[in-house]
């Protein structure tokens, strides 16, 4: 079945977009999602590998343009469990990249799971399902990589997220008023597909002028406030 056919069969109004993605990967009927509060931060890195580098100073443009690599990580995860079952895998994620300070074009987007199923409308607007799920460990997981093009040499560019239009949040009780900046769900293989968490983010900077503002942008409701999960 094509992705379009699967979405039609599931019914657009039956699920949030995020849970639908994970269900498509798992091939199982959808369960109602439960808002679990915020756990973790999206961090951005400008280098490959498992090192997070949040400031980038570029050289002179090549051919009049500057092209950079940006990787989004879900990090700073508190270890939690529900009914004794640890949260260890992601079944899907939704986030929207926001670049301010210079005009930018996203010329490439790819995921670290080769089986990822993405239905984001444009690059930078990520709505993706993973099956059997991306393993979190210890406290972080790579989500998505972008190639971003600027005309000339950009200055004082801020890399962040736009959490104002998360489709999966809009109809989820407790989510819209939380102010969260990104979303993710648990994996079907762990029977946690119904668990929807939020995440904040830490800005990253390209050619910052002066001391860049690295203040995390977070929502108002943590997993501790909601109480669905407990620390472990």
What's the burial of 1, exposed, middle or buried (CB within 10 Å: 0-12/13-18/19+)?
Answer: exposed
pLDDT digits (tens, 9 = 90+) for 2-58: 222 322 333 333 334 454 454 444 444 344 589 999 999 999 999 988 889 999 999
Token readout for 219 is 């929502």
Average predicted confidence (pLDDT) for the chain: 86
Mean pLDDT of 66-88: 95
Asked, for residue 125, whether it belongs to a domain, the answer is: yes
Whether residue 132 has a cis bond before it, omega within 30° of 0: yes
Asked, for residue 13, whether it belongs to a domain, the answer is: yes
**pTM score of the predicted model:** 0.86
Domain range for 162 is 3-208
Asked, for residue 196, whether it belongs to a domain, the answer is: yes
Mean pLDDT of 114-136: 87
pLDDT digits (tens, 9 = 90+) for 194-231: 999 999 999 999 999 999 999 999 999 999 999 999 99
3-class secondary-structure state, position 170: helix
pLDDT of residue 18: 54
Asked, for residue 70, whether it belongs to a domain, the answer is: yes
Q: What backbone torsions phi and psi does residue 7 show, to the nearest 5 degrees?
A: -65, -40
Interacting residues of 144 by C-beta distance below 8 A, sequence separation 6+? 71, 72, 93, 109, 110, 111, 112, 126, 128
pLDDT of residue 5: 30
Asked, for residue 222, whether it belongs to a domain, the answer is: no
pLDDT of residue 74: 97
Instruction: With a cut of 60, say whether residue 178 has pLDDT above it.
Output: yes
Asked, for residue 185, whether it belongs to a domain, the answer is: yes
CATH of the domain at 128: 2.60.40.680
Cα torsion 61, 157, 180, 13 to 10°: value is: -50
pLDDT of residue 132: 83
Asked, for residue 219, whether it belongs to a domain, the answer is: no
Q: What is the total count of domains within the chain?
A: 1
Asked, for residue 221, whether it belongs to a domain, the answer is: no
């Amino acid at each position: 079945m094509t992705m379009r056919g699967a979405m039609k069969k599931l019914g657009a109004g039956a699920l949030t977009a995020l849970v639908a993605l994970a269900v498509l990967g798992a091939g199982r009927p959808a369960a109602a999602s439960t808002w679990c509060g915020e756990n973790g931060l999206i961090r951005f890195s400008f280098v490959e590998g498992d090192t997070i580098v949040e400031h980038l100073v570029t050289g002179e443009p090549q051919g009049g343009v500057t092209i950079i690599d940006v990787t989004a990580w879900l990090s700073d995860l508190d270890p939690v469990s529900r009914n004794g079952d640890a949260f260890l895998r992601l079944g899907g994620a939704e986030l929207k990249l926001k670049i301010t300070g210079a005009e930018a074009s996203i010329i490439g987007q790819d995921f670290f799971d080769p089986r990822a199923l993405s239905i984001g409308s444009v690059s930078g607007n990520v709505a993706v399902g993973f099956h059997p799920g991306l393993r979190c460990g210890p406290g972080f997981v790579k989500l998505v990589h972008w190639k971003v093009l600027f005309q000339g040499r950009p200055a004082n560019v801020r890399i962040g997220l736009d959490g104002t239009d998360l489709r999966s949040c809009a109809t989820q009780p407790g989510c819209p008023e939380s102010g969260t900046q990104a979303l993710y769900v648990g994996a079907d293989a762990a029977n946690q597909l119904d668990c929807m968490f939020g995440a904040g983010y830490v800005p990253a900077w390209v050619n910052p002028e002066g001391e860049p503002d690295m203040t995390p942008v977070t929502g108002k409701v943590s997993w501790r406030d909601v109480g669905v999960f407990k620390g472990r």
